Chain A
C-alpha cells in the first residue's frame, strides 16, 4: 500500500468503515510507515477533539423560520415566467432515445410529431416492448460480465508474484544476497500479516519442530541448519 492510498483511506479506517482486507492493509501500513503513523495520530486527535465539542443549540424559532422561507421559495417557482417552461421542454428533447420514441405512442395523440404517429407504427410498439423485455436478462448479463471479470482479477494479489520474482534474484551470480534477503523476508512478513500466504503454507509450533522440519541436510559438507528449542 502506498502512502497516498493509506492517507485516502485514513478517515474511513478511523471510523471503522473499511472492509476487513483494506482495514488490515491500512493497519499494517501505519505500523510500518512513520509519516502515515503521524498522520493517523494527528487525524485521530482531531476527531477526538471534534467529538468533545458540544452541539450548538438552535434558536427556538429556527425550524418555523426555515419552513416559511422554503414555502416562499416554492411560491416563487410556481409563478415563474413561461420562458422557464420552454427551457424545461428543450431539456426534454435531450432525453434518451427510448423515451423520445415511446412518449408519443403512449400518449396516443401523435399530434406532436412523434416517431410512432402512424397506426402501423403504433402496432409495432407492443411487439418491440415484448422483444426488449425478453432481451433484458441477456443485456443484464452482458452488463454484469465486465464487473465479474474485474472481480476475478482481484482475487490474486500481486504480492506472491513479486515474491517469486525477487526470489529468482538469488539465482543471479552477482546479486547481493543480503539485499535480496532483506526484500524476500520483508515480503514474507507482509504476506503473513496480510493473510496472503494461503492454505498451502504449513504452520507448526516450535515445540514440535524436530518433527516438523528436517534439520539435517543431506548435502555433503552441509552439517546442519537447525532451529532448536530446547537445545
Chain B
C-alpha cells in the first residue's frame, strides 16, 4: 500500500514538474519577446521607443549597408510587390535595383540617388529620368519645419516632436528579422482618422528593418522588410555609377523647388491662393510650392502631422475660352482611371476616389480647380474642402440677363419636353 502511495506521489510530482515546465515555457518566451523587462506599455518602454526613433531620424543615413528588400503595397483596386537590391553608402549615396516579378507592374529598374537628385534608368523604355529634388534629404528632417526656407512655424516643432505629439509610441516586443534582433515599435495616432504603423528597429544600428503601414480603418496598406542585410563600412564608387547604352533618352523632370511660406507662395503665384480654415487636428502647415502644369502654375500646399502628408493643390481660374492654355492634352484620368463617387460640398459637388493608398478629392469652384490628397479618413478631407475660403470678388457675370431669367428660358425650352 505504502509502495502504491509512494508511486502515486511520484507520478503526481512528475506531472506537476511537467505542467510547471510547460506553463513556464511561454512565459519565458514572452519575457524574451518583450525585450527589456517591463518595457511593453510602460513609461520606460515608451522612452526607449522614442529614443530609438530619435536615433533613426537623426542617424539613420549614417549606416552603410547592402541589402535585399521586399515591398508589398495593397490598394483598394489591387496590389503590387517587388524585390529590390539596395546599397547605401553614408551619408547620401544610394543605389536601388527594382527586380521584375510576376506581381510587379514594371520590369527591371535602376535608381541612383545622391541625396539631392534621383537618376532612374528604365531599360524597357530606353529612358533615364533625372528627377531633381526627389531624393531623401535627411538633413531636412532634423530641422524644425519652421526653420526651413520660408516654412511656417506656427505650430512648430521638428518632425520628431510632431511624431511625439501626434502618436502614441510604444515598444511592443523584440524579434528576430533577417538574422538580426529588432525592437518592434508601434505608432498609434492620437487623433482618429489617421494611419498607424509598426516599425522594427535594429537593436545595434539606428536602422529600420521592417515597416508595416495601416489605413485608418485598420487594414494594412504596405509592408516592406529586409530579407537580407549586411552592414558594411566600405562600398566602392562603381556601385553608384549608372551605365546606359548609347542613345538612351535623358528626361529631366521639373523640380518643384523648396517649400516657401504661404505669404511668399501668394506673391509668387500671381493669383489668390485659397486655403482651408479647417485642418485635421495635429497637422501643421508645412509650406507650399508652385508646380508647372502646361503653361499654368499650380500651387501645392502641404500639411503634416510628422508621419503623414495632406497635399492641397490649387489650379487658378481659367482664362479665355475656358481651357488652360497649353495644358496637357490627355483626357482627364480622373474620368478614366477611377472616377470614384460624387460627394456634396459647400455649394458644389466633388469627386472622391481611392488612388493607390490615398484618398483623392477634386472639385471646381469659382473657376478654381482644387485637389486634396491624403491617407487620412475621407471625412477629414471633406471637412477641409468645405472650409476652403474663396476670394471675396469672383469674376463678374458677363451675361446680359440674370441667372434666374436664363434658368427660366433654359427650363422652358429644354426641360419641358
Contact = CB atoms under 8 A, between A and B. Distances in A.
A108 interface: no
B328 A196 contact: yes
Interface stretch (B11-19, B20-28, B33-41, B240-248): B240-248
Contacts of A169: 309
Given A177-B94, A178-B84, A158 B131 contact: no
B300 A164 contact: yes
A177 B208 CA distance: 11
Range of interface residues on chain A?
Answer: 35 or more
Nearest to B187: A174
Interface stretch (B71-79, B264-272, B276-284, B386-394): B71-79
20 contacts: A33-B105, A138-B406, A139-B406, A156-B294, A158-B333, A160-B293, A162-B373, A164-B256, A164-B291, A170-B135, A173-B306, A174-B53, A174-B163, A178-B224, A179-B211, A202-B251, A204-B249, A222-B115, A227-B250, A231-B243
Interface of A: 1-3, 5, 19, 21-22, 24-25, 32-34, 96-98, 132, 135, 138-139, 141-143, 148-149, 151-162, 164-165, 167-186, 188-189, 192-207, 209, 212-213, 217, 219, 221-229, 231
B87 to A, nearest CB: 11
Q: Which of B111, B135, B407, B409 has the most CB of A within 10 A?
A: B409
B146 interface: no
Contacts of A2: 77, 337-338
A192 B326 CA distance: 18
Contacts of A33: 105
Contact of A225 (B136, B197, B240): B240
B92 A162 contact: no
A-side binding surface: helix, strand, loop or mixed? helix
Contacts of B69: 178
Given A164-B291, A212-B250, A178 B105 contact: no
A207 B248 CA distance: 8
Given A185-B120, A186-B80, 17 more contacts: A5-B337, A98-B416, A154-B335, A155-B294, A168-B309, A169-B309, A171-B141, A173-B57, A173-B163, A174-B197, A176-B224, A206-B250, A212-B252, A219-B114, A219-B116, A227-B119, A227-B243
